[in-house]
Amino acid sequence: MATASASTSEPQQQPQLAPPKHPRMPAVMNWEESVNYFVSKGNISRVAIYDQGGKPLAGTPDLQFQDGDVRSIYNCVKLPLNVFHKYRFGLFLGAERFICFKVDSLTMIGVSRDSLYVAHLCDNVMILAFVALQGPETRVSCLGEVWTFAQELKSHMEVSQFVQ
């Protein structure tokens, strides 16, 4: 005599997903940790955050500029779009000449022979991010990365006010 056995199927458990390779941005983070978080995403390798006077708050070690150079960038980014008589203008950072243009009221891009930078004002700080033009081709927008980081940084600054 054959007996039928009832099969009890237990629900299959989904495999655990690996955590992302870059750290999660916690609510309270100092400037250096914010820069490390941004760089850990792997799309931008040189970045710095400056205050309104051009003083560095944090940055990657290989990104060092004179205060006057940083203030020049900050002042150009801060100027309204209608002040510029030409679409493009030149700006020197150290010995390197950049051709610059305003993207919007808070953002400027500079391009030299070897690199590109995005300068973006985020509340009372300026994010300055560089990418090399001679490196491997990337499908990531430096401008998009900086804008995303600025939004994360802005949210972080708002949350930090309540957490501290």
Other CB atoms within 10 A of residue 1 CB:
2
Query: What is the distance in angstroms between the CA of the first residue and the CA of the last residue of the chain?
Result: 74
Q: What is the pTM of this model?
A: 0.74
- Average pLDDT per block of 10 residues along the chain, 164 residues long: 52 52 56 85 85 89 86 90 79 90 92 92 90 72 85 71 44
User: Quick count: other Cβ atoms within 10 Å of Cβ 36?
Assistant: 16
**Helix, strand, or coil here: 32?**
helix
Q: Which domains does the chain have, with CATH numbers?
A: 31-163 (3.30.450.30)
What is the reported pLDDT for 20? 46
Report CA 149 to chain centroid distance, whole Å.
4
